[in-house]
Each structure stands twice: as C-alpha cells, then as structure tokens.
Amino acid sequence: MTLLGRGTGATLVTALTSTPKARGLFQRAWAAGGSGAVAETSLRDANIENQVLLSGLRCSDVLECLRGADAAEVWRQTSKDW
C-alpha cells in the first residue's frame, strides 16, 4: 500500500510513517507540500488526542477499528483544533 498526503495530509503521512506501530504497513509514502512536524503539539499531547479519538470511536483493537471505521465518524471524532 502507498500512503499519499498533500498539505496537512502530508504532515499526517510523516507522523504515521514515523510511528513504530505502523512499521511494515506501507511500502511507500508520498508527502507533498506539508510540514514534517507539528511544532505546537508535544508527543504527550498528540497521544492524549489520539486516545480521545480512539475512545470516541470505541476502539479496543486499534488497527481493526481504524480499518473498519466510517470516514464520517472519524471526522466527527477528530479534534476541531486540527
């Protein structure tokens, strides 16, 4: 699978491909026009935001939950600060 993101999506591609739990999930990644870092967010804060999202989606098995999640529901559960 190839991951592609443009703008903010490129920042998310960078974040996702640097996560140890994502190792081996993607063969290629293309980040077009985004930042490689989110300066205002600490790793601790990002992890808290992720837990809030996963809780809102009622995820226990994170990978299976996110793979099967409805995109509109993920959007509703995503922090409005993004």
What residue numbers bound the domain in which 15 lies?
A: 1-38
pLDDT value, residue 55: 92
Task: Please check whether residues 45 and 61 belong to one and the same domain.
Answer: yes
Q: Could you give the number of structural domains in the chain?
A: 2
Please check whether residue 15 is in contact with residue 42, taking contact to mean a CB–CB distance below 8 angstroms: no
Task: Please check whether residues 65 and 75 belong to one and the same domain.
Answer: yes
Please check whether residue 22 is in contact with residue 46, taking contact to mean a CB–CB distance below 8 angstroms: no
Task: Please check whether residues 31 and 46 belong to one and the same domain.
Answer: no
Is it the case that residue 13 has pLDDT exceeding 80?
Answer: yes
Is it the case that residue 15 has pLDDT exceeding 70?
Answer: yes
What are 34-57's pLDDT values in tens digits? 666 656 777 788 788 888 889 999
| DSSP E strand boundaries for the chain | 2-6, 28-32
Task: Please check whether residues 44 and 68 belong to one and the same domain.
Answer: yes
Task: Please check whether residues 32 and 44 belong to one and the same domain.
Answer: no
Task: Please check whether residues 31 and 56 belong to one and the same domain.
Answer: no
